[in-house]
Structure 1
Amino acid sequence: MAWNEPGGNSNNQDPWGGRRGGGDRKGPPDLDEAFRKLQDSLNGLFGGKKRGGGEEPRSGGGYSMLAIGLAVLAAIWLYSAIYVVDEQEQAVVLRFGEYHKTVGPGLNFYFPPIDKKYQENVTRERAYSKQGQMLTEDENIIEVPLTVQYKISNLKDFVLNVDQPELSLQQSTDSAVRHVVGSTAMDQVLTQGRELMASEVKERLQSFMDTYRTGITVTQVNLQSAAAPREVQEAFDDVIRAREDEQREKNLAESYANGVVPEARGQAQRLLEDASGYRDEVISRATGEANRFGKLVAEYRKSPEVTRERLYLDTMQEMMSNTSKVLVSGDKGQNNLLYLPLDKMIDSRGGAGSAVPGAAAGAASDLGARVNSDLQQRDLRTRESR
């Protein structure tokens, strides 16, 4: 039978199996009673007295609960107010939103919530990478990847001056790279001009950071190998191959020039030296002839006849020494006889060191004998006519 059915004993029973109005209670305890027991326990811990069944609570129990709450709040606040700054870090403390101080490494204390702290690592180098398509000076589009390394040099400026300093750094990097690439030809960007471009980007980027007072120092800018967009990569590869062929031809031409030019210079120098030697020889010979003529004039003035005869003999000796003809003079009043050295002429025709055949030698001897005979007969006739 249900506990609230008509005819039942509903006044004496409850749904928990106990009797209303007294008796044993086997159901769950009342919440109010549980709270009273907890309060009695806390009062006993902090010096209060426990209540009896119908006794009113004393006022000391409320103060004890308040003290516990305040102690817990104080512990939480103290835990959050004490902080440690590492060796590589710094902390900036703001009091009522205004800069108060910069804290170094060690154990420190501040007063939240009136104070706020911003703690950052100021020695670690940070980096981020960026890549984008840019227009060069000669109106070519290329993709330039780069990496920027930086660190925080002034934590106060980093926290207070700019809302998002790292975002400002990225935007400034984009501006600096586009300015440098836009004023550089494509050949320089793709080949040996990357180091100079990286230096220019770093200088311009640091100028932006100093102007904005972000507290950031740019330590390194690395421009990686730039490349053309994928849509025109094949055309760029052809251009690069053509440029390499051009450079190879230039190297071959320079190698050939390095081999020919020194040789030509050597020949020119040798010709100059020969001309200089010939000039010195002519000048020396002319100087010697002039000196000899001067001395000859002095001797001629002393004895003209002897000097004239000597000059004539020297001149004739010099002339006769260069001819194969011998002029034989007879007595006075007789005709001069001309002697032809046929043996020397035959030797000169046959060549130096060549042997003359026997028949040719005999014919030459007979011809010489006949010529001598004719000359002698002519000489006799001449004498007889006289």
Structure 2
Amino acid sequence: MKSAGIGAGLVAAVALLIWLGTGFFIVQEGQQAVITQFGKYHSTVGAGFNWRMPYPVQRHELIFVTQIRSVDVGRDVVIKATGLRESAMLTEDENIVEIKFAVQYRLSDARAYLFESKDPTGAVVQAAETAVREVVGKMKMDSALSDERDQIAPRVRALMQKILDRYKVGIEVVGINLQQGGVRPPEQVQAAFDDVLKAGQERERAKNEAQAYANDVIPRAVGAASRLKEEADAYKSRIVAQAQGDAQRFKSVLTEYQKAPQVTRDRMYIDAMQQIYSSVTKVMVDSKQGSNLLYLPLDKLIQMTGQVAADTAALPSPISVPNTDTVNNTSAATDVRTRDAARARTRETR
């Protein structure tokens, strides 16, 4: 009898250990476990090896809190009462646009996600529709389709987060993704608004090209202006220095002129004549005999001398000692022809 009682106690102890062992569980990375005791929230534990009171005293439910979840908003279902799709919304100027987008969210509080809302996903959809209708309702149709289109998503996200925080559903909105063609007018006027969008895009393209042209031309113009300014400054410095040098030279000449006026005048005349005659080939000299002008065709003389030298060099001849009398006779003949030409011109002048 006693041994039977001991055996029953051992069986009960083993059964108790097995029952207690069922309370161990593992929570994976990125998960949270919500523990309830007799159906009421008890605690939340994170990743790792954990233990709770075995069933039916306590239970646990694993929730993925880092997983990004997504829900689409704006379906093409037509509402019979209005004849419009669910995605149709009214703008500030009383026009209709259709918006389709996806909401990405994750859980920030597992307890609130399980116990504060009966349908958390439905709450997300309702909050998204409420937020987008409020945002679009404060925009004009043209702004919603073009200028302020990129501002719809961040405004909807901020307003959605405020609504969900008031509901305390433990959800964090990660992002709002407008679908391709997500903001569009009704089908009846789609073609006209496509033309408007193309015109706006063409305007932006022309604006960007003009800005690029300005960015290219303005630096070059600034560089050219800077270069011209530097050249003007250099020219100014050169002219001022030259003028100062001329003034200083004039002062020195004036000092010498005051000491010896005649000598200074003669010297200045000689320098001026030397500078003038150095660049001319024809000279006319007053002979002071009967007021006749003696014309010296220096350019013809130089040309004739050069031509004679060239012809002499071109003729093949043996090496011999040149005849001095022949050269002298040639020079004399040239002088005679020159004098005869001068006399003929003098007679014509008279």
TM-score by length of 2: 0.59
- Which string of whole-angstrom CA distances, capped at 9 and with x for unpartnered residues, describes residues 316-354 of structure 1? 4445667787452345x974747586978xx9xxxxxxx
Looking at structure 1, the residues matched to 227 and 208 of structure 2 have their Cα atoms a distance apart, in angstroms, of: 29
Task: Go from structure 1 to structure 2 and tell me whether the alpha carbon gap of 1:125 and 1:371 turns closer, same or farther (over 3 Å shift).
Answer: closer
Matched residue, 1:306: 263
- Are 1:130 and 2:73 matched, yes or no? yes
Match of residue 237 from structure 2: 280
**Aligned equivalents of 1:86 and 1:263: distance in 2?**
67
Residue aligning to 1:220: 175
| 2:43 pairs with one of 83, 93, 101 | 101
Residue 128 of structure 1 and its aligned partner are, at CA, apart by: 0.9
Instruction: Answer whether contact 2:34 2:41 (CA < 8 A) is retained.
Output: no
In the alignment, is the contact (CA less than 8 A) between 1:202 and 1:220 conserved in 2? Answer: yes
Structure 1 counterpart SS, 2:157: helix
- Could you say which residue in structure 2 is the equivalent of 1:207? 162
1:372 lines up with 2:346 in the alignment: yes
- Percent identity over the alignment? 37
Which of 134, 141, 157 is matched with 2:112 structurally? 157
Q: How does 1:133-212 map to 2 (within 5 A)?
A: 133-135=88-90, 141-182=96-137, 197-212=152-167
Distance 1:217 1:306 in 2: 107
Question: Structure 1 residues 284 and 338, CA, compared in 2 at 3 Å: closer, same or farther?
Answer: farther
CA RMSD of aligned residues (A): 4.6
Q: Partner of 1:148: helix, strand, or coil?
A: strand
Q: 1:121 maps to which residue? A: 63
Q: 1:150, 1:298 → 2: CA distance? A: 100
Per the alignment, do residues 133 and 365 of structure 1 end up closer, same or farther by CA in structure 2, a change over 3 Å counting? farther
Q: 1:247 to 1:202 in 2, by over 3 A?
A: closer
Rounded to whole Å, the distance in 1 between the matches of 2:172 and 2:33 is: 16
SS in 1 for 2:103: strand
C-alpha deviation, 1:313, in angstroms: 2.9
Alpha-carbon distance in 2 for matches of 1:264, 1:338: 61
Say if 1:92 and 1:101, in contact at 8 Å, map to a contact too: yes
| 2:45 matches 1:90 | no
In structure 2, distance between residues paired with 1:268 and 1:336: 61
Change (3 A) 1:140 1:257: farther
> Using the alignment, how far apart are the partners of 2:295 and 2:124 within structure 1?
114
Secondary structure at the aligned position of 2:262 is classed as helix
Aligned pair in 2 of structure 1 residues 296, 201: CA closer, same or farther (>3 Å)? same
Question: Are 1:242 and 2:199 matched, yes or no?
Answer: yes
Letter in 2 for 1:205: M
Supply the AA of the counterpart residue of 2:345: V
Measured at CA, do residues 85 and 198 of structure 1 come closer, stay the same or move farther in structure 2, by a change above 3 Å? farther
Determine if contact 2:283/2:298 at 8 Å carries over to the other structure: no
Gaps of 5+ in 1: 1-77, 348-363, 379-386
Partner of 2:248: 291
Q: Partner of 2:102: helix, strand, or coil?
A: strand
Letter in 1 for 2:160: L
Q: 1:274 to 1:126 in 2, by over 3 A?
A: closer
The residue identity in structure 2 corresponding to 1:199 is: P
TM-score scaled by length of structure 1 = 0.54
Provide Cα deviations, 1:28-63, integer angstroms capped at 9, x if missing partner.
xxxxxxxxxxxxxxxxxxxxxxxxxxxxxxxxxxxx
Cα offset, 1:300, TM superposition: 3.0
Give the paired residue count: 276
250 and 221 in structure 1: CA distance in 2 versus 1, 3 angstrom threshold: closer
**DSSP 3-state at the match of 1:144:** strand
Deviation at 1:289, TM superposition (A): 0.6
Distance 2:281 2:95 in 1: 88
Q: 1:237 to 1:216 in 2, by over 3 A?
A: same
CA distance in 2, matches of 1:368, 1:179: 112
Q: Aligned AA for 1:278? A: Y
**Preserved CA contact (<8 Å) 2:90 2:137:** yes
